[in-house]
Amino acid sequence: MGVQLGLCLLAILIMAGLPILVLLGHESAIRGLERVIAQLGGRRIEQRREHHRNVRALKHQHGTPIERLSADLRRLRFLIQHSEHHSASQQEALRRAYDAVLADTCRMLSLEHELDRPTAGLERDIERVRIEANLESRGIVLTPPRRHDQNHDQNADH
Per-residue pLDDT, 101: 92
- 155 has a pLDDT exceeding 60: no
Per-residue pLDDT, 119: 76
* Packing angle, helices 88-108 and 121-137, rounded to 10: 40
- 153 has a pLDDT exceeding 90: no
Residues 6+ apart with CB under 8 A from 43: none
Residues 6+ apart with CB under 8 A from 140: 66, 70, 73, 105
Sign of CA dihedral 39, 45, 50, 51: positive
Read off the pLDDT of residues 61-92 as tens digits, 9 standing for 90 and up.
667 788 899 999 999 999 998 888 889 999 99
Residues 6+ apart with CB under 8 A from 116: 103
Query: Mean pLDDT, to the nearest integer, of 8-35?
Result: 68
Domain boundaries defined on the chain: 6-61, 66-144
Read off the pLDDT of residues 88-146 as tens digits, 9 standing for 90 and up.
999 999 999 999 999 998 888 888 888 888 877 888 889 999 999 988 988 888 887 77
8 vs 12: CA distance, rounded Å: 6
- Alpha helix locations (H) across 60-120? 66-81, 88-108
Top pLDDT among 26 and 79 is at: 79
115 vs 135: CA distance, rounded Å: 14
25 vs 41: CA distance, rounded Å: 24
Per-residue pLDDT, 7: 73
**What single DSSP character describes residue 87?**
-
